Amino acid sequence: MKIVMKFGGASVADSDSIKQVAGIIADYAKQKNQIVVVVSALKDVTNQLLEASEKAREGNKSYIERFVKDLMERHLTIVQKAIKDKFIQREVTLKISAMSDELEKALTGIAHLGDLSPRSKDYILSFGERFSVRLLCNILRGMGLNTECFAGKEVGIVTDSNFGEARPLLKLSKHQVKEKIEPLLEKRIIPLITGYIAATQDGIVTTLGRGGSDYTATIVGAAIEADEVWIWTDVDGLMTADPKIVSSAKVIPTISFAEAIEMAVFGAKAMHPRALEPAMEEEIPVRIRNAFNPKNTGTLIVSQKRIKPHDIVKAVTLIKDAALITVSGAGMVGTPGTAAKVFDIMGRNNINILMISQSVSEANISFAIQRSQLDKAVSSLEIALLGKGVVQDVSAEDDVCIIAVVGAGMKGTRGVASRVFGAVANAGVNVRMIAQGGSELNISFIVKETGGKKAVQAIHEEFKLDKLER
């Protein structure tokens, strides 16, 4: 098989987990598979780099020196524990030391200027993946494997200049990655590529934002026409529910891209929807697997919706820390553009709307947002809308959660909503707001936070998600 394997931060946390990852790669390489590896930064390193960049902006030079020293020592400790070959040890130690000096100079420059631009922040954040890919590449070399490591820009992944959330130029990136990677695979070389980071066409470092390493993996997979992209993480796959809420929750062996996107948007521990795009376009299956339980085949995400008899609902997910806003007023009835004004205000304040509902009377609009953005949202709406004769009230609730019921089998199946809300009612939970899209892949609703777990458990039991054959 031709496989792209992506390893996230949780699976490269320390020397033991990195050796586990190296063992997985070596096992599949010995089976004559063609493998490309995409690596995230070590666990928590990206967050630490983000904090260090903020400290640098504040001019805290003593923090910079301590931070870089600790970060270098963390990586060098893994070198000592995971690589036995003294020559390789010395080589990678010198490289990590040089990159540490480069990082310290960059942070010190920010401290002198007292300015942290998005471009500078992306450059600082790139060091996490640059350290980890060098580390894993040399551990594999020490195991006798033929490897080469690259930054994202070195294999041809190019983006726009929207630093912090850069968008890849997909056609160009796929063409360049194919030209760079395929000759290496033909020579039985394992390329290791930094996840998350890329560059503009001028070579300036960018980052791909949330889910960036997964995005790198699917871009590479699409470029080389991989048989599958494997996302190695610390869970066995996508589950019918959060096992912390439903102890009998099961792994879903197969799910469609459309269903996976719905689950990811609504809080499941899955890939970011944007990262699925390249694989969806080329119809390349994506498999989510557990690096700490490699015998489990995980969840396979495919293009075709596979619906078995009685397999109506695939999963039920929950978003905590949500808030509900209702904009109301008799003057809204028959007044064109009111909804547009409301959502324009949210957009201009960078507030993401999670779900929307409007009564047919047009007298009110309700929508859900992240709880952390509630104060900004309410004040912005009140300033812009109240006293203008159309909107009379802006009310909010900060003790709610969102529940999403997902499944391709719901489309065209009668009585699904009745069963969902009947189960919730029988659990003694009141529904505050409902939304369902035309795709019928998802029924979403809001309840008080205190009733969230009960509602999830009731729906999971109603559809026997722990008993259905998968």
Whether the CB-CB separation of 179 and 173 falls below 8 Å is answered with no
**Is 261 within a domain?**
no
Q: Examine the domain organization and report whether 227 and 323 are in the same domain.
A: no
Q: Which residues pair with 386 in a beta bridge?
A: 391
Measured distance CA(414)–CA(142) in Å, rounded: 59
What is the DSSP secondary-structure string of 386-447? BTSSSB-EEEEEEEEEEEEEE-GGGTT-TTHHHHHHHHHHHTT--EEEEEE-TT-SEEEEEE
Q: Examine the domain organization and report whether 135 and 9 are in the same domain.
A: yes
- Whole-model pTM: value is 0.87
What is the DSSP secondary-structure string of 133-194? HHHHHHHHHHTT--EEEE-GGGGT-EE-S-TTSPPB-HHHHHHHHHHHHHHHHHTT-EEEEE
CB neighbours of 343 closer than 8 A, spacing ≥ 6? Answer: 353
Domain that holds residue 414: 315-462
Q: Examine the domain organization and report whether 31 and 120 are in the same domain.
A: yes
Measured distance CA(94)–CA(88) in Å, rounded: 10
Q: What is the pLDDT of residue 266?
A: 59
Q: What is the pLDDT of residue 24?
A: 96
Q: Examine the domain organization and report whether 230 and 319 are in the same domain.
A: no
Map residue 346 onto helix, strand or coil: helix
Listed residues 234, 254, 282: the one ending a domain: 234
DSSP label of 449 = G
**Is 79 within a domain?**
yes
- Give Cα separations from 44 to 133, 256, 402, 450 (angstroms): 15, 31, 28, 31
Query: Six-digit token pair at 349?
Result: 């304040």
158-159: strand order across its sheet = 158-159, 197-200, 205-207
Q: Examine the domain organization and report whether 45 and 187 are in the same domain.
A: yes
Q: Examine the domain organization and report whether 214 and 335 are in the same domain.
A: no
**Is 69 within a domain?**
yes
Q: What is the CATH number of the domain that holds 175?
A: 3.40.1160.10
**Is 288 within a domain?**
no
Whether the CB-CB separation of 404 and 352 falls below 8 Å is answered with no
Listed residues 218, 234, 250: the one ending a domain: 234
Measured distance CA(187)–CA(311) in Å, rounded: 45
Of the candidates 240, 168, 224, 409, the residue with the CA atom closest to the CA atom of residue 311: 409
Measured distance CA(225)–CA(328) in Å, rounded: 51
CB neighbours of 392 closer than 8 A, spacing ≥ 6? Answer: 328, 329, 330, 331, 386
Domain count, the chain: 2
Listed residues 234, 253, 285: the one ending a domain: 234
Q: Examine the domain organization and report whether 9 and 150 are in the same domain.
A: yes
Whether the CB-CB separation of 193 and 152 falls below 8 Å is answered with yes
Q: What is the pLDDT of residue 305?
A: 65
**Is 222 within a domain?**
yes
Q: What is the CATH number of the domain that holds 455?
A: 3.30.2130.10
**Is 281 within a domain?**
no
Measured distance CA(408)–CA(318) in Å, rounded: 18
Q: Examine the domain organization and report whether 330 and 438 are in the same domain.
A: yes
Of the candidates 197, 150, 408, 186, the residue with the CA atom closest to the CA atom of residue 302: 408
**What is the 3-state composition of the chain as percent helix, strand, coil, each rounded to the nearest 5?**
45, 25, 30
**First-to-last CA distance in the chain?**
25
The length of the chain is 470
Which strand (E) or helix (H) includes residue 57?
helix 45-57
Note down pLDDT in tens along the chain; length 470 residues: 999 999 988 888 888 999 999 999 999 999 989 999 999 999 999 999 999 999 999 999 999 999 999 999 999 999 999 999 999 999 999 999 999 999 999 999 999 999 999 999 999 999 999 999 999 999 999 999 999 999 999 999 999 999 999 999 999 999 999 999 999 999 999 999 999 999 999 999 999 987 799 999 999 999 999 999 999 988 888 889 988 999 999 999 998 898 888 887 655 556 777 889 999 999 999 999 999 999 999 999 998 766 665 678 989 999 888 999 999 888 888 788 888 999 999 999 989 998 898 877 778 899 999 999 999 999 999 998 888 878 888 999 999 999 999 988 888 788 899 999 999 999 999 999 998 776 678 899 999 999 999 999 999 999 999 886 65
| φ, ψ for residue 411, nearest 5 deg | -65, 120
Q: What is the pLDDT of residue 92?
A: 94
Q: What is the pLDDT of residue 333?
A: 82
Of the candidates 138, 140, 309, 286, the residue with the CA atom closest to the CA atom of residue 222: 286
**Is 271 within a domain?**
no
Q: What is the pLDDT of residue 309?
A: 55
